Chain A
């Protein structure tokens, strides 16, 4: 099973709202990722969690707050977003996050994404 699930599928929020995106995997992976993807662009890495610790933050504004409650779950808390934050938010997971070196297991599997619209 190589499934990563994301909820909700779609989200519309105002600039003063607080919302959360959720991601879940049951593959036993210890690395999880958040990406932002604008239309007709490749995914841009936002955050990486490896063994439930934040290992990469790609200079993302503080209105995005990631959380990894356990090895299967990854949340992205949203607060005071701007209209330009409207995008597809993708979650991914991989085996180790590179802690064991780059191995055959280090393949990222992606969820279907959450389409976010900020009004």
Chain B
């Protein structure tokens, strides 16, 4: 069965420091992978996505993610975190059931120290 694991429930980084959020997936075919960000009380905003091709994908707000098939991972990175990046981050894999659906990880809450 398809699944997504985000092993870190919380991560705290200092403003200006680099960030890596981990995501591992289990999916039988070529995965379609996404990172979404959610600020408190808000909807989900798409940060970036991977379908095929270059395994390093660039997203909005200075984020990037690298797809590593051998490790079944799609980790999100940012070289220098800003206080406004504090939010909940969800990794997701797109899958086909009777229709297309997203399978979400449990999320990682990012806290940013001044």
Q: Is the Cβ of A106 less than 8 Å from the Cβ of B100?
A: yes
**Interface 1/0 per residue, B30-68 and A, CB below 8 Å:** 001010100001111110010100000000000000000
- CB neighbours of B19 from chain A (8 A): none
Please judge, given known A-B contacts A102-B94, A104-B51, A107-B49, whether A50 and B44 are in contact too, CB under 8 Å. Answer: no
A14 within 8 A of B: no
The reply to whether B41 and A45 contact each other, CB–CB distance below 8 Å, is no
Q: Is the CB of B43 within 8 A of A111?
A: yes
Is the CB–CB distance between B105 and A106 below 8 Å? no
- In the complex the two chains form, what is the Cα distance from A96 to B90 in whole Å? 23
Query: Do A42 and B90 contact each other (CB < 8 Å), given the known contacts A88-B41, A109-B46?
Result: yes
8 Å CB interface, A22-44 against B? 31, 33, 40-43
Q: DSSP class of B's interface residues: helix, strand, loop or mixed?
A: strand
Interface string of A78-119 (1 = CB under 8 A from B): 000000000010101010111100111011111111010000
Interface residues of A in 44-73 (CB under 8 A from B): 45, 48, 50, 55-56
Given known A48-B99, A97-B99, contact A110–B43 (CB-CB < 8 A): yes
Q: Cα distance A73–B98 when bound, in Å? A: 21
What is the count of residue pairs linking A and B with beta-carbon distances less than 8 angstroms? 73
Contact A107 B42 (CB under 8 A): no
Task: State in angstroms the CA–CA spacing of A6 and B44 once bound together.
Answer: 13
Given contacts A94-B100, A102-B32, A106-B100, contact A42 B106 (CB under 8 A): yes
* Distance of A48 Cα from B107 Cα, bound (Å): 22
**B102 adjacent to A108 (CB under 8 Å):** yes
Q: Assess the B99–A56 pair: CB atoms within 8 A.
A: yes
**Residues in chain A within 8 A of chain B (CB atoms):** 2, 4, 6, 31, 33, 40-43, 45, 48, 50, 55-56, 88, 90, 92, 94, 96-99, 102-104, 106-113, 115
Closest 5 CB pairs of A and B: A98-B100, A42-B104, A55-B99, A110-B44, A112-B43
